[in-house]
Amino acid sequence: MQASYVEVRIVLENLHYPVTKQNLIQQAIKHGASRVVIEDLKNLPEKEYTSSWSIIKVWMQITPLEESIV
Protein backbone atom coordinates (compact mmCIF):
# COMPACT_ATOMS: atom_id res chain seq x y z
CA MET A 1 0.00 0.00 0.00
CA GLN A 2 1.26 3.47 -0.85
CA ALA A 3 0.40 6.84 0.61
CA SER A 4 -1.95 9.18 -1.20
CA TYR A 5 -0.88 12.52 -2.61
CA VAL A 6 -2.95 14.29 0.07
CA GLU A 7 -1.30 12.35 2.91
CA VAL A 8 2.18 13.16 1.64
CA ARG A 9 1.34 16.81 0.96
CA ILE A 10 -0.03 17.33 4.49
CA VAL A 11 3.15 15.94 6.04
CA LEU A 12 5.38 18.07 3.81
CA GLU A 13 3.57 21.31 4.72
CA ASN A 14 4.93 21.07 8.28
CA LEU A 15 8.60 20.61 7.44
CA HIS A 16 11.53 23.02 7.45
CA TYR A 17 13.51 23.32 4.20
CA PRO A 18 16.06 22.60 2.90
CA VAL A 19 15.99 19.04 4.21
CA THR A 20 17.99 15.87 3.57
CA LYS A 21 16.19 12.57 3.10
CA GLN A 22 17.17 11.42 6.60
CA ASN A 23 16.05 14.69 8.17
CA LEU A 24 12.85 14.57 6.11
CA ILE A 25 11.99 11.15 7.55
CA GLN A 26 12.84 12.25 11.11
CA GLN A 27 10.69 15.38 10.83
CA ALA A 28 7.82 13.43 9.27
CA ILE A 29 7.87 10.97 12.18
CA LYS A 30 8.00 13.87 14.67
CA HIS A 31 4.93 15.43 13.01
CA GLY A 32 2.94 12.18 13.21
CA ALA A 33 3.20 10.85 9.65
CA SER A 34 1.63 7.46 9.09
CA ARG A 35 3.71 4.32 8.56
CA VAL A 36 2.68 4.30 4.90
CA VAL A 37 3.93 7.85 4.34
CA ILE A 38 7.22 7.06 6.11
CA GLU A 39 7.74 3.99 3.93
CA ASP A 40 7.16 6.06 0.79
CA LEU A 41 9.61 8.72 1.98
CA LYS A 42 12.23 6.02 2.59
CA ASN A 43 12.03 5.20 -1.13
CA LEU A 44 13.08 8.71 -2.16
CA PRO A 45 16.63 9.24 -3.46
CA GLU A 46 19.31 10.47 -1.05
CA LYS A 47 19.60 14.22 -1.65
CA GLU A 48 18.75 17.60 -0.21
CA TYR A 49 15.23 18.81 -0.97
CA THR A 50 14.56 22.55 -1.10
CA SER A 51 10.75 22.55 -1.01
CA SER A 52 7.70 20.35 -0.65
CA TRP A 53 7.26 20.53 -4.43
CA SER A 54 10.78 19.14 -5.01
CA ILE A 55 9.81 16.12 -2.90
CA ILE A 56 6.38 15.71 -4.53
CA LYS A 57 7.92 15.72 -8.03
CA VAL A 58 10.31 12.89 -7.14
CA TRP A 59 7.67 10.99 -5.14
CA MET A 60 5.26 11.08 -8.09
CA GLN A 61 7.95 9.69 -10.39
CA ILE A 62 8.44 6.64 -8.19
CA THR A 63 4.77 6.17 -7.22
CA PRO A 64 2.25 4.76 -9.71
CA LEU A 65 -0.18 7.54 -10.64
CA GLU A 66 -3.40 5.64 -9.97
CA GLU A 67 -2.27 4.80 -6.43
CA SER A 68 -0.82 8.21 -5.61
CA ILE A 69 -4.08 10.07 -6.31
CA VAL A 70 -6.34 7.87 -4.16
DSSP annotation string for 2-70 = ---HHHHHHHHHT--SSEEHHHHHHHHHHTT--HHHHHHHHTS-SSEE-SHHHHHHHHHHHS-HHHHH-
pLDDT digits (tens, 9 = 90+) for 1-37: 677 888 888 888 878 899 999 999 999 898 888 999 9
Does residue 39 register a pLDDT over 60?
Answer: yes
pLDDT in tens, 47-63: 999 999 999 999 989 87
Tell me the per-residue pLDDT of 9-19, one tens digit each, with 9 for 90 and over.
888 887 889 99
Whether the CB-CB separation of 43 and 8 falls below 8 Å is answered with no
Residue 70 has pLDDT above 50, yes or no: no
Q: How many CB atoms lie within 10 A of CB 8?
A: 25
